Amino acid sequence: MTTGATASLSSAVRTSAAPTSGSALRVDPAFLPTVEAISHENIRLCYYCLKCTAGCPTAYAMDYGPAHVLKLVQLGQKDKVLRSKAIWLCVGCETCWTRCPNGIAAGHVMDALKQMALQEGYAPAERRVLVLHRQFLTSIRLFGRVHELSMLALYKLLSGDLFTDLDLGARMFLRGKIPILPERIKGTSKIRQLFSKQPRGQA
Amino acid sequence: MKYSYYPGCTLHSTAIEYGWSTEAVCEALGIELVEIEDWNCCGASSAHSLDPHLALALPTRDLMRAQAVGADIVMPCAACYGRMAAADQKMRSDPAWRKEMEAAFQTEYIGAARPRTLVDVLGNDLPIEALAAKVKRPLTGLRTVSYYGCLLVRPPDLTNRWDDPEHPVVMDSILKALGAEPVQWAHAVECCGASLALDRADVVTVLSGRIVRGANDAEADCIVCACPLCQANLDSRQKGISPKVPVLYITELMGIALDLPGRNKWFAKHLVDPRPMLHRKGLE
């Protein structure tokens, strides 16, 4: 991954010097300031020490590690970043923020990039991750709390991932850890109002 | 000692034994928990992934409702804690946001109560000698590894450093007071894979598997945790690992040491049944 990543970075740099080339990668100069505005993170402070990537638990499964995502944002590589798996595989563990010498919360940047990807109509590279997040929020919208049984059923149907972990689900159910009925709070109308204000993420 | 109590969704479902043991232990230790009336889900990973407004507004409703109790808010779940701490910090640092939320909930935010995680309260508010004095059945000979995972101690900007973000020690000090033998290991703050539990179970199997194997390398009898999602991931992804390692909530071990009734019901909820190990140790 590292070798390919370095090669694509240098090609991005070459491209920005010669933007008219037909096969060139597109550099979007507005990308960096936009991501900074949405994430409230000062991405240009990243000097690529790679502490975030070294500590990132899911970096091994990503196409670009967190530091590389920050670099691609610095270089205006919007298309690459918004199509990446990396943004969907960040679990928000905050190891990067804890260790960054410049105080950048790379996880917050990943969240901003997920939201941008949805708003701009990019198909998520990890579709099931998005389906689960949406069903989780649907549960909150309906009941005010998460109801695992209906959330999992909807996730299974909508993700197409029908059969994985059915045995695990059954074992949890038999131990009484997945209640049949939801707990519905009294304040669901207020919860729905909080939802209706949302600017992003329902594309 | 009185606290406002936010159980969070999982303490009524997948982590019901954490809910039961938390309530039993707090009662035995004279810690009064007043549940927030009509609390809602904090939004967890899904809200902050997709919607920054919702991610802060959902826990803010709970913070507002907790004010009626007039005490720090204690939450056992690490993920709930992370979201509550983020929402509280936003309310304290952004006057425009605070005004918007005060209008939305028609409540003034006083900010007298702080979101706290349960281990912080048990280890830092309760004098450790007071806990040790209540131990009836010391956990002698029980080798434990303390597992914090991510959001219990990270990021330090939100946790106010109730414990060290890289080398936390509070769970070990509680376990020592219970008579257990906490041992060193390398995985205390590694991530279990968290919300990828279902949609990328392969990743969780790798990450959680590493942690469980680390516990075996340290020759621990059990992993001790304080987060429902960590517990579920570690407990459920042990296929191919031998021996299997029970993953207990710290409150469950406190329940044994304090000799509280009804424990068998807690342990029956685990996928890796801790009872054979506890029986071997004479701690059933």
- As for the ipTM of the complex, it is 0.96
The answer to whether B233 and B222 have CB atoms below 8 angstroms apart is no
CB contacts < 8 A (A, B): 177
Q: Which of A93, A97, A197 to mutate to test the interface with B (most CBs of B within 10 A)?
A: A93
Residues of chain B contacting residue A165, judged by C-beta atoms under 8 Å apart: 198, 201
Note the pLDDT of residue A198.
Answer: 52
Amino acid at B5: Y
For residue A25, what pLDDT is reported? Answer: 77
Tell me how many degrees the CA angle B139-B143-B149 measures, rounded to the nearest 5: 110
Closest-CA distance of chain B to residue A25, Å: 28
CA dihedral B264, B268, B272, B273 (to 10 degrees): 40
For residues B10 and B103, what is the distance between their CA atoms, to the nearest angstrom?
A: 30
Domain A25-119: what homologous superfamily?
Answer: Alpha-helical ferredoxin (1.10.1060.10)
Partners of residue B34 on adjacent β-strands: B4
Residue A196: the pLDDT is 73
Residue type (1 letter), B141:
G
Each residue of A42-65: pLDDT tens digit? Answer: 999 999 999 999 999 999 999 999
Under 8 Å between Cβ of B178 and B164: no
Dist CA A24 CA A75 (whole Å): 13
Whether the per-residue pLDDT at A131 is higher than 90: the answer is: yes
A70-129 pLDDT, tens digit per residue, is 999 999 999 999 999 999 999 999 999 999 999 999 999 999 999 999 999 999 999 999
Please answer yes or no on whether A92 and B46 come within 8 Å at the CB atom. Answer: no
Q: Residue B61 region, left (φ>0) first, then alpha (ψ -120 to 50), else beta?
A: alpha
Closest approach of chain A CAs to the CA of B179, in angstroms?
30
B49–A92 CB contact, under 8 Å? yes
Beta carbons of A132 and B198 less than 8 Å apart: yes
Q: Average pLDDT over chain A, rounded to whole?
A: 88
CB A12 within 8 A of CB A28: no
CA distance B213 to B215: 5
For A167, other C-beta atoms within 10 Å of its C-beta total 9
A48: left (phi > 0), else alpha (psi -120 to 50), else beta? left
Listed by number, the residues of chain B in 13-52 with a beta carbon closer than 8 Å to a beta carbon of chain A are 13-16, 38-41, 43-52
| Structural domains of chain B ordered from first start | 2-118 (1.20.1050.140), 137-280 (3.40.50.11810)
* pLDDT surpasses 80 at B98: yes
Distance from CA of B113 to the nearest CA of A (A): 22
Cβ–Cβ below 8 Å for B48 and A92: yes
Mean pLDDT, residues B163-181: 98
Report pTM: 0.93
